[in-house]
Amino acid sequence: GAELKNTFCLTRDRYAFVSHHIGDLENYETLRSFEEGVAHYEKLFRIHPDIIAADLHPDYLATRSARERADRESLPFISVQHHHAHLAACLADNGWDTLDPVIGLSFDGTGMGLDGAIWGSEVLLGGYAGFTRKAHLRYVPLAGGDASVRKPSRMALAHLWAAGLDWEADLPPVSALCAEERTALRLQLERGFNALPTSSMGRLFDAASALLGVRAVATYEGQAAVELEACLDPDERGWYPLEIRGEEIDPSPLWSALLADWRAGVSVSICAARFHNSITAVTLEICQQLRNETSINSVALSGGVWQNRSLYTHTLKTLQNAKFNVLVHHRLPANDGCISLGQAVVAAAQSGYWKN
């Protein structure tokens, strides 16, 4: 499973037993609950693992526990990239019974990438056995790590900095941070100190929320995005442009257009709706490009960003109107609660246990 919203999963033959919600593995108590739960499920279902799979991130408590057990019991251990697990989980949730690839839209807040960066807006082409990364948001520095998650204003200024846009004094995220924090943030961005690159779609939503003055400081996970969605005008059909350059999706034109609207006095509800519509529009464009290149017509949606009901509903309808076969979660959540199932089926496919 994952570090946040953890579940674990045991499999046998064609059955997968996904655990109850463990929660965020942040301390010894939750780790103990996780390990006790695994032992209980093994006894309950009379399963002893032949293979153990876990997240690619080496410091996740679930990963460390899994690797220690694999070493202790001399079991094969497989690391599964976070967004590949999302894709595989959605396929399994839909009974996808081949190794044929689909277009995977794994949009979330964070997951360690193959290059060591923080991924989160991944357009993948693949299936259970493997994947190719076809597109993602352009990297932006996540200055201070969790500090920028807790303060969406920091994320907004990082996006403006990456887009070459000034931090003008009247902008909400500028006024939300004191001069000292803004100075320190700029130094971090310029020098790359404690500022891992991220392609996170969740952080893009945080930045938009802060830029429009909706939420400057988050007191719970996803608050900025939740409040941005809550204030949008559902009847608005306008959108802002994003530029696709090779595998990179550059949001710079989006920020310029959104700021122009904001300065022109366009309501926050209209701007918020246009921002959401922009993600749907670029998603459709990329999927159509990939379909033209590969003839693959199935698209899988997974990741916590798809819990945004407005984005999910609009994107689903748009892709279906374009004649895509869209796969979505039915029995498991789109968030990290599905990761353990994805890890299990990836491990089965990569280890020769897969049977149609």
pLDDT at 354 exceeding the cut of 80: no
**Strand partners for 55:** 80
Q: Helix 268-294 vs helix 309-321: angle between axes, to the nearest 10 degrees?
A: 40
Instruction: Tell which residue, 42, 21, 40, has the closest CA to residue 30.
Output: 21
220-229 mean pLDDT: 96
297-320 mean pLDDT: 98
Please provide the average confidence, as pLDDT, over all residues in the chain. 96
Radius of gyration for the alpha carbons in the chain, expressed in angstroms and rounded: 21
Which are the contacts of 124, defined by CB distance < 8 A and separation ≥ 6? Answer: 83, 84, 87, 103, 104, 105, 106, 131, 132, 133, 134
Dihedral, CA atoms, 125, 126, 131, 132, nearest 10 degrees?
-20
What pLDDT, in 10s, does the model give residues 101-130?
A: 999 999 999 999 999 999 999 999 999 999
DSSP state of 121: E
- pTM beyond 0.85: the answer is yes
Instruction: Tell which residue, 235, 242, 243, 305, has the closest CA to residue 273.
Output: 235
What pLDDT, in 10s, does the model give residues 29-44?
A: 999 999 999 999 999 9
Gap between the terminal Cα atoms of the chain: 24
- Residue 356 banded pLDDT, cuts 50, 70, 90: low
At 353 the pLDDT is 80
